Amino acid sequence: MKALVFDGKELKLLNVEKPKFKEGHALVKVVLAGICNTDLEVLNGYMNFTGVLGHEFVGTVEQGPENLVGKRVAGEINIPCGQCDLCIQGLDRHCRNMRVVGIKNYDGVFAEYAILPVKNLHIVPEKIENQRAVFIEPLAAAFRILEQIDISSSQRIAVLGDGKLGLLVSKVLSFSRIDHLLFGKHEEKLSLARNWTSTELSSNLAKYDRYFDVVIDATGRKSGIEQALFLVKPEGTVFLKTTIAEKIQLDLSLIAVNEIKIIGSRCGPFPKAISALEDGLEVRDLIYGTFELSDYREAFNMACKGSLKIILDIGRDL
C-alpha cells in the first residue's frame, strides 16, 4: 500500500506492507485524513517520531469486530499500555508507555490502511459527511477545554490564535454559546471567524493588559504563552493548547505573583465532537484544499505556509 513515511529527515511516499490484522484491532481503509500542526512539528523533530505520519482521519473498517465492519469510523490517537501504575490509577491518557498514532511509536493514517485498537474507534453517524468527520479528532481536542473548566459568557474569555486549532476552539465555544474574543494575525482568517464570534488583531494586544478571566493559547507558537500571561487577569486561568518541538523560556514568577492557574489541555472527548457535528456544527469552511497522496509535497507546502485545513484524499468508501 502507499504511505507517507517520515524517516527522521524526510517525508516520502513509499510502497509499504499493508498492516496485518491483529486481535482487538480493526483494519481501517483510510478515506480522508487531515494535516495537523502536530504533523508539521513531528517533521521538525517533535517526539523523535519515525514511521507513517498522520492521526486525523475518517475511514471504513475492512476487518475487525462484526459491529464495525463496513462502518465509517474516526479514531482516538492515544494507545496506553493498560498495565503501568498510571494506567492502573485511571490515568491511561497519560500512560508511561504511551504510544500515539502517527506521533509516537505507532504508525499513523497517511496511508491506504491503518490498524488501530478497537477501543480507539468511534462510529461516525450517517448524518456526518466525510469532510466533517475528518475533523472529529481536532474538534474533540477543542471540546476538552469545556471538560476541564466551567466557563460561561459571564467571564471574559480570549482565544489566542487564528490557525486551525484556534478557529476550532472558537467554533466550539460559540457552538456552546460562550462569548469570547478571538485574537489573530491574519485578516482573512479573522474575517472568516467573524461569522461566529468577535475578533481582534494580535497587534492590538496591548489594549487588553490583565483583562481576561480565561485565556486559551492555541497559537502553536512560542510567543503564545507570554501573550496569554499578559492578557490574563490575576487569579485567572490560562489554557495551553500549544504543542511544539521548540522549548520555551519563561519568567515563572509572573505566574506566582499573579496567582495564575495554568491548565494543560490536549486530546478530548470524541462523543462530544461527534454529537456536535450531528447537531449541525459546520467545519467545512476551515478546509483550504484537498490533495491526493501523490501530491503530498504540495499539500505539506501549503500546510507549512499556515493555510487552513489541508485534507488528504486517500481512498474511497467501500
Cβ neighbours for 255, distance < 8 A, ≥ 6 positions apart: 229, 262
**Of 14, 81, 201, 254, which lies in the binding site for Zn ion, with binding defined by CB under 5 A?**
81
Alpha carbon distance 29, 52 (integer Å): 14
Residue 58 sits in the site that holds Zn ion (CB under 5 A): no
Residue 244 sits in the site that holds Zn ion (CB under 5 A): no
> Which residues ranging from 249 to 278 are in contact with Zn ion (CB under 5 A)?
none
- Provide the minimum distance between the beta carbon of 316 and Zn ion in the complex, in angstroms, as a whole number: 23
Alpha carbon distance 285, 193 (integer Å): 10
Q: Using the minimum distance from each CB to Zn ion, give the nearer residue, 84 or 262.
A: 84
Percentages (nearest 5) of helix, strand, coil residues in the chain: 30, 30, 40
Q: Using the minimum distance from each CB to Zn ion, give the nearer residue, 95 or 169.
A: 95
For residue 227, what is its C-alpha cell? 501573550
- Provide the minimum distance between the beta carbon of 16 and Zn ion in the complex, in angstroms, as a whole number: 22
Helices 136-148 & 270-278, crossing angle to 10 degrees?
110
Residue range at the interface with Zn ion (CB under 5 A); choices 62-70, 78-86, 231-239, 305-313: 78-86
Site string for Zn ion, 15-44 (x = CB under 5 A): ---------------------x-x------
Residue 158 sits in the site that holds Zn ion (CB under 5 A): no
Residues in touch with Zn ion (CB under 5 A)? 36, 38, 80-81, 84, 87, 95
